[in-house]
Amino acid sequence: MAEAVGSAPAHPRYQRHETARLRRRRDDVWIAASALVAAMLSLPLAQSSWHGAEVAAVLAIAATSMLAGQRWAIAVVIVAELLLVPTVWPRVFLGDTSIALRIPALISLAAMVPGILAVRRGAAALVLVSGRRRTQRICRRFQLALVVTGLITTFLPLL
């Protein structure tokens, strides 16, 4: 009946675009919620030699911005999670910390996984935030820089 009145069915390309946009929004909410959990659980774990408390606060603010619909905040969430890893993972795997400190650290580390897996999207957003022209080559370079930063910060506590 709707076709007889004059409204044409949506073009398949438009439908794919809408489906991808809704999926991306769900992913943004999931990444932001898990980042907020990671920030709240890792805030008390911060050590005095590393700026973990400040990074956890930045992560909480960026996650709140993502929940508010600011898509650029994924770049800040990724960088903050990569910089928060050296504060959290030694509490889980190294040292003689009690089980009361290991459980929140383990949950915080697990909550960082969705954001760290979104490095590719974070690199693309970081390119836009930095003001550079977004090309595939520049996005790959930013992605490589984020991965190298993640590896360095992961192994930093071992030194």
| pLDDT tens-place string over residues 80-126 | 998 888 888 888 887 666 788 788 888 988 999 998 888 898 899 99
Strand ranges for the chain from DSSP E: none
Residue 49 has pLDDT above 90, yes or no: no
Instruction: Please check whether residue 133 lies inside any domain of the structure.
Output: no
Instruction: Please check whether residue 69 lies inside any domain of the structure.
Output: yes
Rounded Cα distance between 114 and 30, Å, is 8
Residues with Cβ < 8 Å from 33, sequence gap 6 or more? Answer: 63, 67
**What separation in angstroms does the CA of 150 have from each of 85, 107, 124?**
8, 19, 16
Residue 127 has pLDDT above 60, yes or no: yes
Instruction: Please check whether residue 124 lies inside any domain of the structure.
Output: no
DSSP-derived secondary structure letter, 94: S
Q: Where does the pLDDT of residue 64 fall: very low under 50, low under 70, confident under 90, or very high at 90 and above?
A: very high
Instruction: Please check whether residue 89 lies inside any domain of the structure.
Output: yes
Rounded Cα distance between 132 and 145, Å, is 15
Provide the number of structural domains found in the chain.
Answer: 1
Instruction: Please check whether residue 154 lies inside any domain of the structure.
Output: no
Instruction: Please check whether residue 109 lies inside any domain of the structure.
Output: yes
pTM of structure: 0.77
- Domain of residue 36, residue span: 19-118
Rounded Cα distance between 154 and 52, Å, is 13
Residue with tokens 């709240």: 40
Instruction: Please check whether residue 135 lies inside any domain of the structure.
Output: no
Instruction: Please check whether residue 14 lies inside any domain of the structure.
Output: no
